[in-house]
Amino acid sequence: MEGKQAQQPAFDEVGFLRTLAGWKPSLVETMAEEIGISPLTESHWKVIEYVRGYYETKGVGPPVVRIAKATGLSSGEICRLFPCGVVRGVYRLAGLPRPAGCA
């Protein structure tokens, strides 16, 4: 039992993972349900995977304009896919830490 508890991802007080290492695709589906974005489509995953890759390379999350350009989706489409916003939706589901100054 103790080993299983050690494997549970740690979240901060508003639902962001505390470390990228806690991220798993299976966890994303559960997190998406909790914030009302379900089921995840191919477009959702395209955005999530781009944001994860960008963060791993640059150390910061990309702005929505860059996400749109890289994925071929418009900013409006991204906002419809993630109605709670890029930070609370995409960044959270991609496993990025909560940006400083974000309540």
List the catalytic residues: 102
Residue type, 81: L
Decide: 70 and 51 in contact? Cβ < 8 Å.
no
Distances (CA, A) of 30 to 2, 38, 40, 71, 93: 22, 9, 10, 23, 10
Decide: 42 and 52 in contact? Cβ < 8 Å.
no
Query: What would the two tokens of residue 103 be?
Result: 């309540």
Query: What would the two tokens of residue 25 be?
Result: 């695709």
